[in-house]
Structure 1
Amino acid sequence: MTTTEAAATALWPRIGDIPHPRFRVPFLGDILATSPKRPVQGSMRLAAELGPIFHRNIFGQRIVVVSGADLVAELVDESRFAKRVVLGVESLRSVGGDGLFTAHNEEPSWQRAHDILAPAFTREAMVRYHPTMLRMAARLTGRWDARADEGTPVDVPGDMTKLTLETIGNTGFGYDFGSFERDEPHPFVTAMVGALHTAQQRVIIPPVIGPLLTRRADRRNAACTAFMASVVDEIVRERVAAGDTRTDDLLGLMLNTAQPGTGARLDPANIRNQVITFLVAGHETTSGALSFALYYLAKHPEVMARAQEEVDRVWGPDGDPGYEQVSKLRHVRRVLDEALRLWPTAPGFVRAAREDTLLGGKYPMRAGAWAVVLIPVLHRDPSVWGADAERFDPDRFLPERVRARPGHVFKPFGTGERACIGRQFALHEATLVLGLLLRRYHLHDHADYRLKVVERLTLMPEGFTLALSRRRR
């Protein structure tokens, strides 16, 4: 037994009682049941075969995966479990350091940054961001108008990435990446994708020889990380040089305010880590959510027609919708929620036992033992979502049906005190954008696209294009 396996056995004393894949190989473990390029989808297949809890052995590292609603109900209990930074998120610390997403619970920078940044996500702040979101969306529709007039399909994930990067850049940091003036993605996006891929691949490298096999990838990752840091340093440098003391966006709060109660401020290194975290997490997951929602709308014309009717009725045919009007698009929001149910763009979170406990009345966990919650399978648990859980149906999120379900079964933004701080920002932006696109265009699945999901810690449709036609109202 390796040191890693012994540690896992100590933390999970009866790990042998937990199902695991067949054909386990000495030293390599369950490598034959591993999908290096698509580990989430590979784990989804294993969950279908092995059930609501299983474990994997990858080069001696034991990973417990949980997806059953009853077990997740325990893992989200903050009195018993807490967030743990391991696997791909741990690897991502080379990019985000002690930023909000990648910080360990015991690092004081997490609570300090959370308290300082909380005002950036109040209702008053969202009202301030709304006009900027509209301007960024207008840049997207200007691009899509030209494609519609030319009869040229649009690259949905690519354009959603440009939109959401510009939105977080402009609202959060007063910085414009010029994405819509480029044919190719901004170099920041290219570097980010490279860093995310590297973080995912580092989860399954073999011990001892692993560092030898990943030298080239590590050099590329270092270059990607250095470039991202240089972009952020320029953003901060411009703000400081301008002598700007405002506190109406994320960067202003970090530079010019202190933690309430303690007076502690964020140091320059942590500010850089926070900016990188928000630029990456603030656009990557939202662009994926928008892309999946547009995919399902194109595949379900009856749902699209119903959503268009709602937009026309609530917003009218012309003019910019006000902040309050966005939340009135209840069916459009249900479309977004259902897309996030089937393909949560941040597909997992890790929970560790605060003290010795028993999971599901059967599996002993020592303090520090952790498990991965596999959200796409949780969101398909037939005991909660029904026998048709694979079917796209926005009416699952009608108010009476939401009230009838326990809250822990829908977790696209994580859970507990470490859940996504920008949830309302992302939902407002995505609902606004979907409403604007539905009011303006018919979406045509011109290539009979078959969904292919690419993984880079986050999830995104790959190679998805749409043909557009202007709506005549």
Structure 2
Amino acid sequence: MAVFFALLSLCAKALVILLVAAFLCYCLYIKYIHMKYDHIPGPPRESFFLGHAATFLSAMKNDEVVHDKFLEWTETYGPVYRINALHYVSVCVFCPEATKEILMSPKYPKDKMVYKRLFYLFGKRFLGNGLVTAQDHELWYKQRRIMDPAFSTLYLRGLMGTFNERADKLMDKLGEIVDNNVQAKMLHLLNCVTMDVIAKVAFGVDLDLLNKSSPFPKAVETCLKGMVFYIRDFFFEFNPKNRGYVNEVKAAARLLRTTGAQWIQKRKLAMQNGEDVPKDILTMIIKTAAAEENMTEEDEEFMLDNFVTFFIAGQETTANQLAFCVMELGRHPEILKKAKKEVDDVIGMKPDISYDDLGKLVYLSQVLKETLRLYPTAPGTSRDITEDIVIAGIRIPGGVTSIFSSYVTGRMEKFFKDPLTFDPDRFHPDAPKPYYCYYPFALGPRSCLGQNFAQMEAKVVMAKLLQRFDFTLVPGETFDILDTGTLRPKSGVVCTVKHRNYTN
């Protein structure tokens, strides 16, 4: 027995020595990383280990926008600077030439650290290897090829009927709000209509969220907020105080994936039985995938990954853009008046908006683009720099992540005069085009596949709103931004709404 305890003691001492040695080695490695990259300008680290992580955690706890900190540092340290967290180094890049070089080229893969953490959300498969997160170029390209037909111009033109129908449901709901003399919570209403559009257009499901309750809006919101904690706070899930919230996030992710699997399987079965099925995005994806050689079980999971990706990205960001647009039009009556006049000239009293009408709504397009300049609802992206590169005269050794933010460049005086002023004329057809400093849908081969879909939907909803209603922001409405990974109006954009009076 004594020998046993002696051996146990020796093992314990050996383990302590190994742990101490490992810790010292890790400290030396962090020091080596600092020495390798500290020639790059950047704010002082708050600690040896955590680097600048505490700044971001503080911003999250105080409901601040992390990208405002990036903007502040850009003004202090220039368009290229370094930030640290543990042994990770990221280089923030806000110069157009490097933005073009890196985002437009497939040789710079998506950031391994961030996008791997989106594969699982607190251990539950979330976005997996879908279009947004796939890092391997061949894997991504295969998925993109499967998805492309569902977003062709010809197919999108055929969606105008659904866009009109769902927008009309929103107009009906606003009519009820006017009749009941209550305030309209525009962000909530717009979230309902954009999720209705996605469910109907993409998956042939009629949720009717404006009139029925559903767990989906809450599940999406929970997943997005959980995603921010999971990415920005490495230790969040290990804090016992957060266990209940982590389980809530996992349950929300499970709900989305389980629902997606059911909808996909139901559609596949209907197609196999020769039943008439909607010619929607889901049917096109399944048909195209069936023609793909060597489809595997993992490919089936990719379809589910893309269901979750599209369900979230195609709904949340468009709703937020529309809410910010309403907010800014409410702040600027002269711009609102001009947008209404264009809608009156192009649409008049027509009940339905045609695809050709969208091209004539030039000023409304400018308003929506300016909204995304100030409030890019998906504000940032990142890429891995695997080889040495020189950016703005600064040598960047390979092995770092490059961070890009359309929020930052969109608010830089260098690129946009009086950047905090909402001015749709910046995007007038004859105005100079921004040079790689405006990219709310990212750039290059990995840019957002659904951007045309989203902007068509946004234009239909806004045109009908301007055609039928007058709205004003309630007194005391705030214009703060809530950073939940995507950006949304913190106040919810509460408005007083009235039917338009065409007799004046």
Match of 2:5 in 1: none
State the identity as a percent.
Answer: 24
The corresponding residue for 1:53 is 80
Unaligned runs of 5+ in 2: 1-23
Give the 3-state SS of the residue equivalent to 1:96 in structure 2.
coil
Q: C-alpha separation between the residues in 2 aligned to 1:440 and 1:3?
A: 63
Match of 1:124 in 2: 154
Pick closer, same or farther for the CA change 1:4–1:216 going to 2, 3 Å: farther
Structure ID, larger Rg = 2
Measured after TM superposition, the shift of residue 361 of structure 1 is 2.5
Q: Which amino acid aligns with 1:330?
A: V
Offset of residue 275 of structure 1: 0.9
Query: What is the SS of the residue equivalent to 1:350?
Result: strand
**Aligned to 1:242, what secondary structure does the other structure show?**
helix
Q: In the alignment, what sits opposite 2:443?
A: 415
CA distance in 1, matches of 2:28, 2:229: 20
> What is the CA–CA distance in structure 2 between the aligned matches of 1:423 and 1:156, rounded to whole Å?
22
Letter of the structure 1 residue corresponding to residue 92 of structure 2: V
Deviation for aligned residue 1:16: 1.0
- Is 1:256 the counterpart of 2:278? The answer is no
2:20 equivalent in structure 1? none
Displacement of 1:446 in angstroms is: 1.9
2:447 and 2:31 map into 1 onto residues whose CA distance is 26
* Gap change, CA 1:88 and 1:352, over 3 Å in 2: closer
Which stretch shows the higher mean deviation, 15-24 or 258-267? 258-267
| Residue 304 (1) aligns with residue 331 (2) | no
Q: Which residue of 2 aligns with 1:154?
A: 184
| Aligned-pair CA distance for 1:107 | 6.1
Please, what is the CA RMSD of the aligned residues?
A: 2.7
Q: CA deviation at 1:9?
A: 6.1
The alpha carbon displacement at 1:430 in A equals 0.5
2:28, 2:482 → 1: CA distance?
30
Deviations 1:425-466 (A, max 9, x none): 011110111111011111101224221211221110022211
Q: Note the C-alpha offset of 1:55.
A: 2.5
1:377 and 2:408 are equivalent in the alignment? yes
Q: Is the 8 A contact 1:58 1:204 kept in 2?
A: no
Specify the alignment match of 2:3 in structure 1: none
Determine which of 79, 94, 102 is the counterpart of 1:67: 94
Q: 1:102 to 1:291 in 2, by over 3 A?
A: same
CA contact (8 A) 1:88 1:199 kept: no
1:218 counterpart = 2:246: yes
Change (3 A) 1:151 1:396: same
- Secondary structure of the residue aligned to 1:224 is helix
Q: Distance in 1 between matches of 2:30 and 2:134?
A: 23
SS at match of 1:17: coil
Structure 1 Cα separation of the partners of residues 299 and 466 of structure 2: 44
Question: Which residue number in structure 2 is paired with residue 342 of structure 1?
Answer: 374
Give, in whole Å, the separation in 2 of the partners of 1:93 and 1:413: 23
Q: Which runs of 5+ in 1 are unaligned?
A: none
Q: Which letter does structure 2 place at the counterpart of 1:454?
A: L
Contact 2:376 2:440 in 1 (8 A): yes
In structure 2, the residue corresponding to 1:399 is in which secondary structure? coil
Q: Tell me, what secondary structure is at the counterpart of 1:409?
A: coil
Does 463-472 or 12-21 show the bigger shift? 12-21
**DSSP-derived class of the 2:210 partner:** helix
Deviation per CA, 1:323-382, whole angstroms, max 9, x where unpaired? 11012100001000000000100010112225332222312231x432110211111222
Measure how far apart 1:104 and its partner are. 1.6
1:2–1:60 Cα contact (<8 Å) kept: no
Mapped partners of 1:303, 1:208: distance in 2: 44
Q: C-alpha distance in 2, partners of 1:274/1:4? A: 40
**Residue type of the alignment partner of 1:139:** K
- Alpha-carbon offset, residue 397 of structure 1: 0.2
For residues 168 and 74 of structure 1, the distance between their equivalents in structure 2, rounded to whole angstroms, comes to 33
* Equivalenced residues, count: 465
- Are the equivalent residues in 2 in contact too, given 1:160–1:291 (CA < 8 A)? yes
Q: Within 5 Å, which residues of 2 pair with 1:76-115?
A: 76-78=103-105, 81-87=108-114, 90-91=117-118, 93-94=120-121, 95-106=126-137, 108=139, 110-115=140-145
The offset of 1:228, in angstroms, is 1.1
- Answer yes or no: is the 8 Å Cα contact 1:311–1:435 preserved in 2: yes
Q: For 2:236 and 2:242, locate their aligned partners in 1 and report how far apart those are by CA, in whole Å.
A: 11
Q: TM-score, normalised by structure 1?
A: 0.90
Judge conservation of contact 2:183–2:494 (CA < 8 Å) in 1.
yes
SS class of match (1:27): coil
